[in-house]
């Protein structure tokens, strides 16, 4: 068989493999951002227990991994009371300066920005100091790509809501307390049991 025919066959095989790869990736990429929205309503989790979730948030924020910020992040699109806003603001202000990883700075500050922007007047009053601090946090992030996305999420004209991708949904299901919805954790006690494993 001439080398030109072999070359053409190899090219066809490579093209076919690339085609198959694209066919496999499209559904995966489409599902990646199916939980991203630009308003609160589609991101609300019905019957979320914010007070119970805040107990988890208080534990998570003490960690030194990416969970440090995600306890706040899972709350960012939910409806909160002024009292809950005060607790969230205190947690944020007491921990944001000790967060060193760009991911944590971004996600904790994004949580504050969304809660502030989506909150009523009383919630905004409780979050004001935290929100002012959150707006300047992208400057602390070293990775340019992360910094750009963080800036957009925290200070952008369009609010970004939802659990965004499979990793966000998975974390939310293990840390956002939603009694009666078996997709989510049912209580702080259940969280503690799972943490001990």
Tens of pLDDT, residues 41-100: 889 999 999 999 999 999 999 999 989 999 999 999 999 999 999 999 999 999 999 999
State the residue range of the domain holding 25.
1-32
Give yes or no: residues 189 and 123 share one domain. Answer: yes
Q: What is the pLDDT of residue 145?
A: 94
Give yes or no: residues 191 and 140 share one domain. Answer: yes
Q: What is the pLDDT of residue 34?
A: 62
Q: What is the pTM of this model?
A: 0.83
Tell me the two tokens of residue 111: 């949580």
Give yes or no: residues 109 and 147 share one domain. Answer: yes
Q: Is-contact 44 77, C-beta < 8 A? A: yes
Instruction: Look at the chain and report how many structural domains it folds into.
Output: 2
Give yes or no: residues 88 and 178 share one domain. Answer: yes
Q: What is the pLDDT of residue 71?
A: 96
Give yes or no: residues 22 and 46 share one domain. Answer: no
Centroid of chain to Cα 47: 19
Whole-number Å distance between alpha carbons of 83 and 121: 13
Give yes or no: residues 97 and 26 share one domain. Answer: no
Tell me the two tokens of residue 40: 């609160």
Give yes or no: residues 113 and 175 share one domain. Answer: yes
Q: Is-contact 173 166, C-beta < 8 A? A: no
Give yes or no: residues 122 and 141 share one domain. Answer: yes
């Amino acid at each position: 068989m001439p080398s030109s025919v072999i070359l053409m066959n190899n090219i066809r095989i490579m093209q076919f493999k690339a085609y198959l790869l694209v066919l496999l990736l499209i559904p995966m990429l489409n599902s990646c951002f199916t939980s991203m929205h630009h308003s609160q309503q589609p991101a609300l989790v019905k019957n979320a227990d914010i007070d119970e979730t805040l107990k988890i948030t208080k534990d998570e924020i003490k960690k030194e991994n990416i969970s440090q910020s995600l306890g706040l992040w899972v709350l960012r699109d939910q409806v909160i009371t002024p009292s809950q806003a005060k607790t969230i603001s205190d947690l944020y202000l007491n921990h944001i300066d000790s967060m060193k990883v760009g991911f944590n700075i971004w996600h904790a500050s994004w949580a504050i920005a969304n809660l502030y922007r989506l909150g009523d007047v009383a919630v905004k009053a409780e979050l004001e100091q935290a929100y002012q601090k959150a707006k300047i946090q992208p400057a602390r992030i070293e990775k340019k790509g992360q910094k750009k996305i963080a800036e957009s999420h925290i200070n952008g004209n369009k609010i970004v809501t939802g659990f965004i991708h499979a990793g966000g949904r998975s974390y939310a299901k293990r840390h956002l307390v939603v009694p009666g919805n078996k997709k989510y954790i049912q209580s702080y006690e259940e969280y503690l049991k799972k943490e001990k494993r």
